[in-house]
Amino acid sequence: MTAPALTARPPLPERLRWAAADGLTLVGRELSRLRQEPGELIAALIFPAVMVVLFGYVFGSAIKVPGGGNYREYLMPGLFVMVSFTSVMAVTLRVATDASRGVMDRFRSMPMARSAVPFGQAGADLIHGILALVIMAATGLIVGWHAHRGLWPTAEAFLLLLLMRHALGWAGCYLGLVVRNEQTADQFVPLVFPVTMLSNSFVPTGGMPSWLQAIADWNPVSAATAASRQLFGNPGAPTGGRDLAWPLAHPVTATLLWSLALIAVFAPLSVRTFQRRGR
């Protein structure tokens, strides 16, 4: 008797096309789920607008912008970044919910690319991020925020914010696969706020104690906020002084490096964890 012929592995381009098609299918699944649960979508879209009004007028009456300027113009880049960073917990909660309800086990039993599930979660969150940025930018324009450096730098700023959000989406997918419990994941949600608050998003870091200022200056939230202020031409943009921490002296480069590092770490971790959880 002759040994049965081994099934040939498809070539790399075909595997990539298969993974991309499966991933886009799962992006569509996440978006269709929002249509079935419109309350979640409405809350996600209202939250950015509420943040603009609340922080803009509550903090704006008490905080002076370094070098002068409108506080709401100083604030808006920080709010853009803050909403982008909250995505990590939103994705964590969605993935943990699917895992606890057995949805991930059903995906593993299907003939689909293993990278498609985390890709679909991160991709769907990126679409949520675009909608949130549009609503927040429109609200910002109403309350007096403007981008002053022209079309291309403004587009660069928004693309940088979306890249950071996409990177955080991969981190959230990994955390959700590790936690696998929606109640536990829900308890982690408030932890994102100290990270965003301990930065230059709402107040200058110069008035903080030296040890706390060092933490805030090296916080990726501060780098992304400084990069956005620089590209939008808003008050509080870094001036390149020698006393600045490296991420604030080179905020665009620092934000790109943070984003690429997060993707390089958490994308393979998410795929590997998804594969191993079924064993």
pLDDT of residue 220: 94
pLDDT digits over 230-261, tens only? Answer: 999 998 887 766 678 899 999 999 999 999 99
195: pLDDT strictly greater than 90: no
Q: Has this prediction a pTM greater than 0.75?
A: yes
Q: Which residues contact 217 (CB under 8 A, 6 or more apart)?
A: 200, 205, 244, 245, 247, 248
pLDDT of residue 3: 46
Average pLDDT, the chain: 82
d(CA 250, CA 241): 11
Q: Are 80 and 118 in contact (CB under 8 A)?
A: no
- CB under 8 Å, gap of 24 or more: what pairs does 123-127 form? 123/23, 123/24, 123/26, 123/27, 123/169, 124/26, 124/27, 124/30, 124/31, 125/87, 125/90, 125/91, 125/165, 125/166, 125/169, 125/172, 126/162, 126/165, 126/166, 126/169, 127/27, 127/31
pLDDT category, 80, cuts 50, 70, 90? very high
Ordered by start, the domain boundaries in the chain are 24-276
List C-alpha distances in Å: 136 to 119, 131, 190, 257.
Answer: 25, 9, 21, 25
**Per-range mean pLDDT, top range of 11-25, 130-144, 239-253:** 130-144
List C-alpha distances in Å: 188 to 91, 97, 98, 146, 198.
Answer: 12, 13, 17, 34, 17
